[in-house]
Structure 1
Amino acid sequence: WAGRVGMVGISYPGISQLFVAATTPPHLSAITPLSIIDDTYRGTLYPGGIYNDGFAKDWAQQRLDQNQWPNPKGAGWVKKRVEDGDATCISNLGLRGQNVDLMKTIRENPYYSTRGIPGYPDGFDTVAPTAFINKIEVPTFIAGAWQDEQTGGHWSEMLGNFPADVPLRVTGQNGTHTDALDPDVISRQLEFLDFYVARRIPKISEAARGAAPQIWQVLTGVSGVTLPADRFGDFTSYKSARKAYEAEPRVRILWETGGKPGEVAGAPVPATESTAKSWPIPTAKARTFYLGADGSLGDKRDSSAASLTFNYEPDARPRKTYTGDGGGVWKADAEYNWVPLDSASSVSWASAPLSRNLAIAGPGSVDLTFASTAPDTDIEVTLTEVRPDGNERYVQSGWLRASHRALDTAKSTALDPRHSHTKVDAAPLVPGKAASIRVALFPVAHVFRAGSRVRISVQAPGGNRTLWTFETIKPEVATRNSVGTGGVKASRLVLSEVKSPKGLPTALPPCPSLRAQPCRTYVAPAVQTPGPSLK
């Protein structure tokens, strides 16, 4: 528009916008990245220091295969151009031999490298947008899902690094990688582009409204989904419309997408929404639950120190919850294989039924007094809602390799432990001796309904995510891990509690319905095994 440039794109074409904008091109007016990452290492590739050998590995391998010369694999349109003698394509592809060998770089760098990697002289900050988004000067629109099966839900951890004077709009919701294209999101993206690139009062064309339902029919299998009405149709001047727009809060949360009453279960439509001035939400309060020796979560810690113990068995459950094709997980009726916990290879704690709704929005922390019979072990924590109707719903997870437990104390808070993941900070456990380990729950927004119970489980990684799997430590001898309860060093769960959103339906959303939050029949754990006294 009149020499003004705006960028659009989801996933890789979204992530790349952050890199471009950080170079401050003179004609760039706005960017609108969707379903992105904040930190290649911490957010997707090595969550908690554990190699993601599911989606992350597969994606990297596909890029290598598509770019290999003289026989690219997978990119059919590239192969056809080469076969047809396209000289420019052949020349461009020949340059791909200069690309960094992604798989080699990944395998050679299991720690967060600060500098000196071939191809990345400044270390992994080079591929961590959180490290350079402070250089962005143009208006930015971001949207993502907490349970994104590809790029993950860590993206919001960088939002506090955007310059305060840059117009920023953020939408977060439950859902999949493609839910950043949902009608309540894409309509706001188009609105944003009208304000900052076209510089006109936002209005979605009738042609776009007519074509849009086909997008969601293809992605979700739900017909009849339409774009919301234009919000600024009553304004007569662009200046007054933009002033009203810029007075709105920066952050918007869509709650219970897929569970709106009257809509098809799993449709890409939220039940309600709320806003906030910034992220993390300034008014969020730490809600603490202590882990009890009897498997309870309570407001008070047990007076006496004890522990519960479990077998470290990464292969006890299926590695992931979805086995269909990648696009199938986007459907409203996606089928998950989310099996109940194995009592021998996990420990879990559940609260009493809640007397009122508990809304959370933000990061969380599972603070463990932890011991292992091995010098290192991998941990996954998973937050779920145990409903009064006998179903259990997935909420969010977090991961940590125990040797990566060192915190970046300058960045960590009570709600948000940040780990350095550097080699110099890595330290083995002393077998049998207790260590303080804080496992970060990825950011999430969810309402636990009155009558439901909050549940947190601890196990080896695997069996709770759709496409993420993990290359876990494989011990040569049987390993047992223990979690301390009670006493001065009682383990605890800390969540970001916020005010329950207005307009939330009273009734529980059906199981299944909420996008990317599968349900299973709740199975109470067998008698959990008391562990050793942790010292």
Structure 2
Amino acid sequence: MKGSMRKMLCLGLTALSMGVMMPGAVSAEKAAITMPQKMANGETVEVYYRKGLPLTAARARAAELKRETMVLKAGSIRREGSKPLTCDILFEKDVPVTLRDGTVIYTDIFRPVDEEKHPAIMAWSPYGKEIGGQWLDDVPGRAGVPQAATSGLEKFEAPDPAYWVAQGYVIINPDSRGAYHSEGNLNYWGSQNSKDGYDTIEWAAKQPWSNGKIGMSGNSWLTVSQWFIAGEQPPHLAAIAPWEGFVDHFRETANRGGIPNPVFPEGIFETFASKNYIEDQPRMVVTHTLLDAYWQDKIAKLQNIHIPAYVVASFTNPVHTHGTFAGFRQIPSKDKWLRVHNTNEWADYYQPEHVEDLRKFFDHYLKGVANDWEKTPRVRLSVLDPGHKDVVDRFEQEFPLARTQYKKLYLTSQKTLAGAKEAQEQIISYDTQSKQSAVNFVLNFDKDTELTGYMNLHTYVEADGSDDMELQVTVQKLDKDGKVITDPVTHMPTVSEGYLRVSQRALDTHKSTPAEPVLKHTREDLLKKGEIVPVDIGIWPMGMKYHTGEKLQLTIAAYQPPKADSVPPFGIAKIAVPAKGYTFRPGEKTAMKTLGGGHTEVAHPELAVKAPATRNKGKHIIHVGGKYDSYLLVPVVPEK
């Protein structure tokens, strides 16, 4: 039996055993199905879908569908401990929006209580426009965001309506297609979701309260949505503010380095609530392991984005770092700014000074205010310095920095990083099944050094006992005693990583640079016994200061899939809100209802997708010295 036929048969048997409908199959439960879906290139792909949380699930924290309009009074609060409203707000709940294919989605609208025309900011996501399945209370310590920092009117990761309405803006909070009461099936970005966002923006621009200028804001999913929707070029989308979000779903999250990782999308899927079906992206991750038409549809059309953009990035987000920098660099807009912070996306987004900074940007482009925004430095950079004090808001003109001097640090048989290659060929190996399935290479700094930008590990590898390898590469800072320096808040080390399934090592030579290898992901070239192959493993950008005596440690390890509990258990925090109405006066006796469920409340747990077994077996062998110029390319930044 040919390999492709065997793969299809095995996939079909596995799917049917899980209750998944293959094309033409019948399922009594219909908990999961496949549907043909047209991609951006015109190709039709059978896409897996399954049922998510029902709206009745406590973990969904769903509100009833009820079209109504009310005035939220100044001084009232949404929750005990939240910031009181500073002005009256006209709240329109569950406003229907009809998309081009007739599907109706529902949005909440918060706007000033007047008859004037205002700019609007849209926050696009499926998490629930009223509390919903994800909320900061679900995250330990609310990720550093005090409850009193916002009014509680905001949807997850979105702008606070109480602040923005007081500044003369309208906030639009849709439940995207398939989310909660919105009709249709819930999609993960791609062309369908982008067109839906386009339609909603154009609908908003025609409303009697609109001045015709719409912006977008929010982080994570809401940032990814901005890249995709802006790529469709809605005529009335006037500015965006992407606050950490990827642009290429395959390369940056789902199959980074070619290694399928369904754990994060599965953890997010568990919190989605819908009356219909939800795109089963975790299953697409493990069944579509090459960059095919499905994944091409999940790449944002950055080349189409010419509108003003305020982009916020960090060096420490394991999901969004690469994409945020890529988005800033690749959009052709002449009016784009980058700010790189040193905390986390949520804490940074709700910092009062950053909210004010964003308002200045939107005031300029959505209201036409002459406030000298255009004089803002094009790049404001943070450089991390664990164990010391970070550099924050250093003014630069571009990223990567034009003055960067790239340096090769050669891997040696002594497990060091050196300025020169060893003359003799040497090998270093580790057993992939042992607890120490890794090797470390260390560089001691003899002077203060800044490394800011992209890194690339170029090396030669061999598999003894397998026809493939899955590698995880980590770069981190050690103190003068060789100990790992951890973050005082997260208690985790600050690292930059790269991944590679060696069979997918083929480079896209048109897009790759010495510091930034880009993989094709269009085929697998399995290893032959004794075959030694060169590989380039791109390491996500980092800005790090090393002091004299401190060390850089490069780790090459056998990839280990993340644990299922690596995703926060969203939807479980208990949140009390008014049982009737929407806000109440502080100290007022008001009947409350408590929202929130348990982490075991999962729709069809038997369909959950787990990380596949790695392809690592036997030994991994690294070749250095002689004809094997194995090195880590690092971005050295001289002082101005």
State TM-score, norm by structure 2: 0.55
SS in 1 for 2:229: helix
Of the candidates 412, 416, 426, which is equivalent to residue 292 of structure 1? Answer: 412
Matched, 1:375 2:467: yes
Q: Does the Cα contact within 8 Å between 1:462 and 1:470 map onto a contact in 2?
A: no
Q: Deviations over 1:145-192 (max 9, x none)?
A: 2221444544313433211x4311112244434254263644432332
For residues 327-338 of structure 1, what are the structure 2 equivalents within 5 Å? none
**Aligned position for 1:327:** none
Alignment-mate amino acid for residue 532 of structure 2: A
**Aligned position for 1:167:** 335
2:279 and 2:469 mapped to 1: Cα distance? 31
1:44 and 1:146 mapped to 2: Cα distance? 15
Q: Deviations over 1:36-66 (max 9, x none)?
A: 0021011111111112233233224443xx2
Task: Label 1:463 to 1:289 Cα distance change in 2 as closer, same or farther (>3 A).
Answer: farther
Of the candidates 17, 23, 30, which is equivalent to residue 226 of structure 2? Answer: 17
**Aligned position for 2:297:** 126
For residues 130-529 of structure 1, what are the structure 2 equivalents within 5 Å? 132-151=301-320, 153-163=322-332, 165-181=333-349, 183=351, 185-200=354-369, 238=370, 241-245=372-376, 248=377, 250-256=378-384, 271-313=391-433, 316=435, 342=436, 345-351=437-443, 353-373=444-464, 374-393=466-485, 394-423=494-523, 426-462=524-560, 467=566, 471-474=612-615, 478-500=617-639
SS in 1 for 2:340: strand
Q: Deviations over 1:280-336 (max 9, x none)?
A: 3222221210001111111000011101000113x83xxxxxxxxxxxxxxxxxxxx
2:320 and 2:387 mapped to 1: Cα distance? 23
Q: How many Å apart are 1:31 and its aligned residue?
A: 0.7
2:615 and 2:518 mapped to 1: Cα distance? 26
SS in 2 for 1:372: strand
SS in 1 for 2:296: helix
Q: Deviations over 1:350-369 (max 9, x none)?
A: 11x31222212222101111
Q: How many Å apart are 1:463 and its aligned residue?
A: 8.7
Q: How many Å apart are 1:391 and its aligned residue?
A: 2.4
Task: Label 1:40 to 1:11 Cα distance change in 2 as closer, same or farther (>3 A).
Answer: same
Q: How many Å apart are 1:500 and its aligned residue?
A: 4.7
1:186 and 1:259 mapped to 2: Cα distance? 29
Task: Label 1:54 to 1:448 Cα distance change in 2 as closer, same or farther (>3 A).
Answer: farther
SS in 1 for 2:484: strand
Q: How many Å apart are 1:139 and its aligned residue?
A: 0.5
Higher relative CO (CA 8 A, sep ≥ 6), structure 1 or 2?
A: 1
User: How many corresponding residue pairs?
Assistant: 378
Which structure has the larger Rg?
Answer: 2
Report percent identity of matched pairs.
Answer: 20
Alignment-mate amino acid for residue 288 of structure 1: K
Q: Does the Cα contact within 8 Å between 1:148 and 1:175 map onto a contact in 2?
A: no
Q: CA RMSD in A?
A: 2.7
Unmatched runs of 5 consecutive residues or more in structure 1:
68-92, 116-122, 201-237, 262-269, 317-341, 502-535
Q: Deviations over 1:227-281 (max 9, x none)?
A: xxxxxxxxxxx26x24533xx3x222122388775xxxxxxxx543323333332
Q: Does the Cα contact within 8 Å between 2:385 and 2:546 map onto a contact in 1?
A: no
Q: Deviations over 1:182-224 (max 9, x none)?
A: 6364443233212212332xxxxxxxxxxxxxxxxxxxxxxxx
Task: Label 1:257 to 1:190 Cα distance change in 2 as closer, same or farther (>3 A).
Answer: farther
2:611 and 2:559 mapped to 1: Cα distance? 7
Q: Does the Cα contact within 8 Å between 1:38 and 1:156 map onto a contact in 2?
A: no
SS in 2 for 1:413: coil
Task: Label 1:185 to 1:354 Cα distance change in 2 as closer, same or farther (>3 A).
Answer: farther
Task: Label 1:421 to 1:174 Cα distance change in 2 as closer, same or farther (>3 A).
Answer: farther
**Aligned position for 1:204:** none
Alignment-mate amino acid for residue 472 of structure 2: E
SS in 1 for 2:297: helix
1:481 and 1:45 mapped to 2: Cα distance? 24
1:356 and 1:179 mapped to 2: Cα distance? 33
**Aligned position for 1:42:** 251
Q: Does the Cα contact within 8 Å between 1:447 and 1:500 map onto a contact in 2?
A: no
Q: Does the Cα contact within 8 Å between 1:50 and 1:470 map onto a contact in 2?
A: no
Matched, 1:101 2:271: no
State TM-score, norm by structure 1: 0.65
Unmatched runs of 5 consecutive residues or more in structure 2:
1-118, 120-210, 486-493, 568-609
1:100 and 1:492 mapped to 2: Cα distance? 41
Q: How many Å apart are 1:409 and its aligned residue?
A: 0.7
Q: Deviations over 1:120-145 (max 9, x none)?
A: xxx4232112xx11111210111122
